[in-house]
Structure 1
Amino acid sequence: MDTASVLAVCRVHQLLSDAGSVGVTAIDKRPVDGPVKVHRLGLHGDIQASRIHHGGEDQALYAYSQDDADYWAGELGRDIPPGYFGENLRVAGIDATDAVIGERWKVGLDVEVEVTSPRMPCATFQRRVQVPNWVARFGEAGRVGSYLRVVRTGTIQAGDHIHRIFVPAHGVTVGKWFSDPTLEDMEALRDADADGEIRLQPEYHEAFEKLRRRLGQ
C-alpha cells in the first residue's frame, strides 16, 4: 500500500456570492504553499460563511481523497482540483470515506485529527458544481469524505505523511453511516461513545432518533 499523504492544504480563496440564506459562501478553497497552522477550529486563515451548518470543533477540517476526486473527474468530464469540493485536505493513500468514525490520524510531525462524520451535500455545494441534481448524485455515489476534529494542534503542509494511529473496534465507517446506517451500527456507535472509545458529536444523537423512527423501532 502506498504511503498516505497530504496532496494539498486548502483554505478559502475568496468569498463567493451565493443564493443561500447567508448570501456568500466560503466553499472556494484553494491550495496554499508552505506550512499552515492548524487550530482547534481549523486552518489558520480559513473561514466558514455559514457557521450554523459548517465549522466548529467537530467539523474543523474536511478531508477528501484523490481517488474520489478522480472518480468525479471521470464522471463530470472536468478536472476536480484540490479544494474544489470545499475540502481543506486533499489526501492520497487513505480513503477518507472508508475511515472508521473516531479513528485518529497523525498528520506531519505534530498534528493529530479524529474522524467525526460524513459531509452532507447541500444546495450551496450544488450551486458550486453547477450540476443538476448534484446533491442527490453526490449522495448516491457515497463518496462523501470525512470531517475531522483537531485533537492536537500544530502545522501541516502538502507532502506530509498521514499515519493511522488508532482505529476503534466498532468498525462503522463514515461511508457506511452515510449510505446505509442500521440499528446495529447505531448501537455500536452508542456503545463506543458510552465506553469512552470515541466521542460522538451531538448531532449523532438526533440522527439516532430519526433512524429509530424510520426503521420503526
Structure 2
Amino acid sequence: MKVLSLNLGTAAAVPYTAQRDGLTGIDKRPVDGPVRVFAPGPKGTGASGVTGDAVCHTRHHGGDDQAVYAFAREDLDEWERELGRPLRNGVFGENLTTSGIDVSGARVGERWRVGPEVVLQVTSPRIPCGTFQGHMDEPQWVKRFTAKGVPGAYFRVVTPGEIRAGDAIEVVRRPDHDITIALSFRALTLDRGLLPRLLEAGDDLPAEERATVHKYAAPRSS
C-alpha cells in the first residue's frame, strides 16, 4: 500500500465552472515532493491542506475535513477501461493517487500513516459537481460517477508533515463500526434512507454529514 503519486493543482480559468470568476484547481498534476500537508482551518476559511495546491472556492471545498483527497489507481484503471481513454494520475482532482488500498472501502474515522510522520483520518466521500463534469468532458458524468459508487475519500490531517510519491501507507486505526466511504456516498446521493445509519460512525462522522442526517430526519419525525 503506497502513494503512487502526489498531485497538485494551480488555479486556472475554465469555461465549464459555474463560479463567477471561472477559476478551478481541479486539474492536478503529479509532483515529486516532498510536499507538506497540514490542517488548513475550517471550511469557508481554510483551503487545501496540501502546500501548493489550489482550492479556489472555500465555501464548498477544502477546510479541515477536506484537507486531502485520495483516489485509488485501481479505480482509475477501471474508468480507463470503461471510458476507452487513458487517465493520468491526478485527473480526478485527487491529491494522492494510491496503490494497493481500497480507498472507497475505508471506514469513516479510519487513520492512515503516510510515510514516516503524517497521519490522515478518513472523513467523507467526494460528491461530484458540474466542474468535475466539465473537466472530464464526458456526457452525464455526474450521473455515471455517482452510479459507480466509488468516490474516493477526503481526509483531515491529524499529524502534519511531509509526503512524497512512493511513501508507504499503513492503516493504524480501523473503527469498530462498518460505515465506509462507499456507504456514506450512497446515503448522501442515491439512497437517503441510509442516512440515519451514518450515525453509527459516532464521533468519527464529520459535522457536515451529521447535520445532513439530522436535516433529513427532522421532517420525518414531525
TM-score, shorter chain, exceeding 0.5 = yes
The aligned amino acid for 2:91 is Y
Task: Mark the CA change 1:74 to 1:59 in structure 2 (over 3 Å): closer, same or farther.
Answer: same
CA distance in 1, matches of 2:212, 2:141: 23
Residue aligned with 1:43, SS: coil
- Measured against aligned partners, the alpha-carbon deviations of 1:108-156 in whole angstroms (never above 9, x if no partner) come to 0100000000000000000000111110110000010000100001101
Partner of 1:156: 163
- Measured against aligned partners, the alpha-carbon deviations of 1:141-175 in whole angstroms (never above 9, x if no partner) come to 00100001000011011110000000111110010
Partner of 2:18: 20
8 Å Cα contact 1:13-1:30 kept in structure 2: no
- Measured against aligned partners, the alpha-carbon deviations of 1:52-100 in whole angstroms (never above 9, x if no partner) come to 1110011000000011101110111111111101000000111110000
Tell me by how many angstroms 1:43 deviates: 1.2
Partner of 2:44: none
Task: Mark the CA change 1:10 to 1:137 in structure 2 (over 3 Å): closer, same or farther.
Answer: same
Please tell me whether residue 106 in structure 1 is matched to residue 113 in structure 2.
yes
Counterparts of 1:127-138 in structure 2 under 5 Å? 127-138=134-145
Aligned-residue sequence identity (percent) comes to: 42
Partner of 1:207: 212
Task: Mark the CA change 1:112 to 1:73 in structure 2 (over 3 Å): closer, same or farther.
Answer: same
8 Å Cα contact 1:60-1:149 kept in structure 2: yes
CA distance in 2, matches of 1:117, 1:43: 17
Partner of 1:144: 151
Partner of 1:10: 7
Where in structure 2 are there 5+ consecutive unaligned residues? 41-48
CA distance in 1, matches of 2:86, 2:13: 20
Deviating runs (4+, > 3 A) in structure 1? Answer: none
8 Å Cα contact 1:16-1:28 kept in structure 2: no
CA distance in 1, matches of 2:87, 2:54: 21
- Measured against aligned partners, the alpha-carbon deviations of 1:16-67 in whole angstroms (never above 9, x if no partner) come to 3243124111101000013111121311111201111110011000000011
| Number of residue pairs the alignment of both structures matches | 206
8 Å Cα contact 1:112-1:153 kept in structure 2: yes
Please tell me whether residue 34 in structure 1 is matched to residue 33 in structure 2.
yes
The aligned amino acid for 1:27 is I
Where in structure 1 are there 5+ consecutive unaligned residues? none
Tell me by how many angstroms 1:212 deviates: 2.6
CA distance in 2, matches of 1:153, 1:36: 11
Partner of 2:200: 188
Tell me by how many angstroms 1:13 deviates: 4.1
